[in-house]
Structure formats: structure tokens, C-alpha cells
Amino acid sequence: MSVIVVDASVAAKWLLPAGGETLAEEAFHLLGRWAMGEIRMIVPDLFWAELGNLLWKAVRQGRCAKVAAEVALASLEEGMLTTVSSLVLLDRAFGIANTFGRTVYDSLYVALALESEGQLITADEKLANALAARLPVKWLGAV
């Protein structure tokens, strides 16, 4: 079974109103594959803080109601995404960040993809373009 690491940019497509989200169809296709047991999805624990912040920002900007954001977050929490401690990934992430000029935050996802022999799927096209040639990173729009 393929292991897929997803970042908060992909989860945003699942949780925010579709009208403001590009690549929502691709994100839901990925979610459907996970629900059918075709792939295994994992995230570093940083994912949850980033996702919470993303929803907080959407509420502040009026893109979604606070109650809707709370329900969306709770529904994803119940989905039981396998979560890995960032602490065990930190050394490798720090090395990736320094080698490729990326943030440690982004590099934690890449480190998890490497550790799990999986692939990071991100909606961050700049991140994917910067790393895809050398690391297991793929842009959601190319999935």
C-alpha cells in the first residue's frame, strides 16, 4: 500500500468552502482513495497546528463560520490520520531545510515522506517545484 504524506494545504481543500479553493477535486479524489483503503495517509504532528491556524485565519477573513471550522476540524480529527511526532523527524528536516533552502516546517513533511518511504502531496506548487526533482514531493495538481 502506498504511503502518502499530506500537508495542511491539501487538507484545506477538504475543509474550506469549495468556491474559494482550487484543486478541491484532486484533493477529494485523494481523500476518497484513503477512505477506500487504497492508500495510507500520514502527517507530522505539526499538521494539526497548521490546520488549526489555517481554519482560524479563514474564520477571521470571513471565508467560513467559526462553527463550520470547528465541525470541519473535529471531523478530520475523527478520521484518525496517523500522526508522527515532529521530534523524531527534526534532525532530518533540519538537514533538508539547510540543503534545499526550505523552512523546517515544510521539511518536516518531506522528512516524514522519506522516513515512511512514501510521497508528500502538497497544494503548494512552489514547494513541489523546488523539491520534486530530488525528493519524493508531488504537487496536488499533478496527482
Domains and their CATH numbers in the chain:
2-142 (3.40.50.1010)
Q: Could you list the pLDDT tens digit for every one of the 143 residues in the chain? A: 899 999 999 999 998 877 666 899 999 999 999 999 999 999 999 999 999 999 999 999 998 999 999 998 898 888 778 999 999 999 999 999 999 999 999 999 999 999 999 999 999 999 999 999 999 999 999 98
Give Cβ neighbours of residue 130 (< 8 Å, ≥ 6 apart): 100, 101, 102
Give me 67's grid cell.
462553527
Question: Distance between CA atoms of 140 and 142, rounded to whole angstroms?
Answer: 5
Q: Residue 119: which of 31, 1, 29, 4 has the closest Cα?
A: 4
What is the Cα–Cα distance from 19 to 106, expressed in whole angstroms? 26
| Dihedrals phi, psi of 94, to nearest 5 degrees | -65, -40
Query: Residue 91 in 3-state DSSP?
Result: helix
In which residue are the cell numbers 502531496 written?
121
